[in-house]
A and B are shown apart, each in its own frame.
Chain A
Amino acid sequence: MSESALGIVWIYPDLLSTYGDRGNMLVLAHRAERRGIAVEPMLVRSDEPLPATADIYLVGGGEDGPQALAAQRLTADGNLLRAVNQGAAVLAVCAGYQLLGTSFHAKGAQCPGLDLLDVTSDRTGTRVVGELSGDVDPRLGLPPLTGFENHGGRTRLGPGVAPLALVTAGFGNDGHTEGAWRGKILGSYAHGPVLARNPAIADLLLRWATGADSLAPLDDTWSDKLRAERLAAAGAA
């Protein structure tokens, strides 16, 4: 890893990659490079050790089996915890969000998570599939969240985290709150390329990673149109 480039790790694309999860890495790299920030994207497979000193870690969605396996391997590896303790930022979606918690439900059993977020996930009877939107925790200073959710999980938040957003359309954690955050760790049920719909979250991660108070503005004409259309479609605008 070079000293000057921003290290972005996509954790275990062989296990946790559905629904366009690759998009989050692509959007981060794109927004950094447009501002002249060099980026070193790293795809780390589950049979490889995680780097402990990267700046941003991304965890994607996945099916039951791979989710449980990924949690075991990440726990055994230990470097994600080390990186977080050294101030790295994390964005986890869907199955990835669940496995950062205290425990989650997979393959008919409750599995131990990484304990990076004070959340517990189990199963609802039905999958929730559709547009998701919410008003983001004002302390993060972001515009409304918009995304697409597809999961059968229900997540309870403990006192150690705050909800990422309050649901205005869709289900999120439980129909009221969506996602969770603590420090520089963000978890969300808005799956796949949530950063494409929410470039302000991408910029938040980049600010956390670079320590910059602000970043040069980019031409977000198309993201703005997309956000307006999706928020209207969700009935949240």
Chain B
Amino acid sequence: MQEIQYIGEHLLIGQFGHLSVIIGFVFSLLAAYAYFKQVNNKEQSWNKLARISFALHSVMVFVVMALLFYIMIERYYEYNYAFKNVNDDLPFRYIFSAFWADQEGSFLLWMFWHAVLGLIILFQRGKWEAPVLSVLSIVQFFMFSMLMGVYIGFGEFSFKLGSNPFILLRETMNAPIFSNADYLSLIEGNGLNPLLQNYWMTIHPPVTFLGFASLTIPFAFAIAGLWTREHKEFLRYVISWATFSGGILGTGILMGGAWAYEALSFGGYWAWDPVENMSLVPWLMLVAGVHINLIARKTGKSIKSVYAFYVIAFILITYSTFLTRSGILGETSVHAFTTMGLENQMLIMILFFIFGSLWLFRLRKKDFATDKTEDNLSAREFWMFVGALVLAFSALMITLSTSLPVYNKIRAIFQPSFIGSVIDDPVDYYNKYQLWVAVFIGILSGVGQYLRWKESRFEKYLKKFSVSMGISIAGATILTILFGSWMDMHAWQYWVLLFASFYTVSANLDYMIRLSKLNPRAVASSLSHLGFGIMVIGSLASGLNKFHISSNPFAQRGLLSEERLAKNVMLFKNMPMFMSGYKVTYADDYFEGNNRIYDIKFEQLDSMGQPVDSFTLHPTALYNNTITKVAAFNPSTLHTLSKDIFTYIASIPQIEADMEIARQKEDSLEYVALDLMENAPAFFRDTVVVGDSTVIRTYELNLLQVLNEPTHADYVAQENEISFSPRISVFDTYYDSTYIVEPTVTLRGQAVYSYNVHLQDLSLKFKVEEEALKYAFVMEEDLDYKTYEFGKDEVLEINGHTIQFTGFIPNPKSVDYVPEEGDEALWARFLVDNKQEVKPIVCIRGNNFLTYKAIDKGTGLHLKPLRINLSEDGKDAKLLMSIAMEDKAEAMNIPIGVAHAPRTDFVVLESIVFPGINLFWVGSIVMLIGLFIGVWNHRLRKQVS
């Protein structure tokens, strides 16, 4: 095939980008090797090369990102990544979202944070720099390999290494358009999914990936610690990084929940979706690791477990990436996955880190002598370790359950007839087990605070301990009873969980204020535990007690055998509906960009039906970028101290949601033709279904007036057009009520536009037929012209009207007359009935004599100049005119069409009250604040020591 010279492609930037990936790949390996040499040979001379390599690899990460951003900002659609993720209309602020919406971009974001965190460690120039960055460089090496996009091997055994983000569109597919050298001028990008066009998508991924990346640091420290055998030092240095990672990853997970709750119509913040699970699991392991790290620092025991937990947390993050990006989860998740074709490569990476770590553990086995001393049941470390094990249990349960599709797949390899299974009801299933995890954590995190490290004289401490326990149990009991009676507790298990949560709240408050006197060290852990308790209480309150405002018991038809909760109600515009103590009105809707905003007004009523509170919510329908189709419905939530009212639109009429269907529906309407005349009513009979029977409704239509300036909402006046609207009164003979409609018809050039009117209350649609344009546009051949001669200021009486020729005016302007060079043109000015000015135009152009007629709309007189007769002396000019008058009576006959068209001014609304949901958010945030205070404490302590 002949090579085509494509026009307008920017190939250099992509080649440069790909080269940067390869350079970064090489330098990450070199950095790993040089740092390795520095550690293993204890030769400081390697340090310089190592640092330069690491710095250069970081620069390559930044360069690759910058170039990829650049092709997206510039909309270089010859690149697949730009073509897939942006389009011309995408606002600049969403370029970031588009960048990490796709696989390669999110990998780059992850690598970016690795590089940043690595540089921080590099510039600290501590003794951990070399071993930690050696491990981090290996991780980066694997990640760069994901972006390589090269084929290795021969023929059938070729193996694709990585996916190059700079691949060209025409390299990814074979389409006929690429035979056109100028294909770039013809194509436009796909753009960003409208669901991702919000600020959450801008902030959530960077935080989450910082969480992911920060989790690599404790792993790198763990490998480094095992490698250099500096176990004590490892414990001291890793803890602030691990706590930091826990705080950031926790923030990322929480943001994901907030996004789902605030901006998506899931109706909740947590759904036990595989993607959520697999980001939670590493966090659980990490938090467990931090607790064992504390134990190990205090007691010198359990060091092996610290290593194990940090390594497992990292491996779980890579496993989570594998699960969510390999497409293996398939139908079990609402998240849409596209595969990158790198499953094998990711598996190799995971196996490398698993077996590498295991091998290192084996090598260092003798470093960790098994402690034969009996565990001390009255010491804090024992129960803290049990708590960490409970967290690990939780992580294990979630991982195994989420991995069910993996198990199915593996078993199917060995046993092709095997049919995989899925979890029937994920939310119930996970809640059932994790409830007990939360119960244990609640109790352990309360009791643990009161116990002392390495307790040896518990008998003496017992009295103090009993007092504390008494206070906290009493507090928890009172709170549980008060709160529990306000809540609707379905089962005894919830009472247990509520008590355990209040127990950790009261115990940690008591410990923080009474025992530790707000010592900052104690505040960090107490706040975290306290926050955890409040968070669980909030999720109990909002989960168990949520209820639908939008359940209308009268609208049930009982077609489904089980009595189900009716979640949705239908609201007509401006027709209030009463539900669950609220009067709800769909008041208005309007567009802002491609977002259609609905005003839904809520009025809370007391038992007497008097309004006590009112507020308006604005759920939206988000249309696609061309505003032809709804892409998604987004909720709107009223936040109050005690509850949230979450509302979203479950459905709108198809006609409103999809322009294509609207067009089909309009075409399929059966319009009945009616001729309207003034003072002559016409009748339209409509067949309406009421319940199981049909009835005939009769409407009386009267033409009131013909408006030359239409009032239709969609109509925008333009020049050089003919428009009018008949003003029609519609009398509903059944309900004895009258409506006014003004459908409009417009002639613009050759095209006729109809602005139809949908009378929603009566389910009727009105249009003006095209033929009605005759009313404004009398056919020339229908006119009966007669010739008259006018002298200046001469008055003639024609068809009962006086017409006076008052003379010529220069520089005429009109719609029809287009001036040309050399024209001699004049207005001939006439006065009709002594008041109305009518000005036809005469024009001499070369040898031609042109005339342009004028119409007096009031009388229907058409004035057309014929020629100018000069008198023999040339001083006196007489104007020969052709004048006709329209037959008004006939023209007043306006044909219209009336059709039955079902109402489209409604929304289907779902509205849920979440009581106490703020406790969930406040609790989560308090927990994270506790973690960050912990980071602060550890850093301070490290500086001191």
Tell me if chain B binds chain A. Answer: no
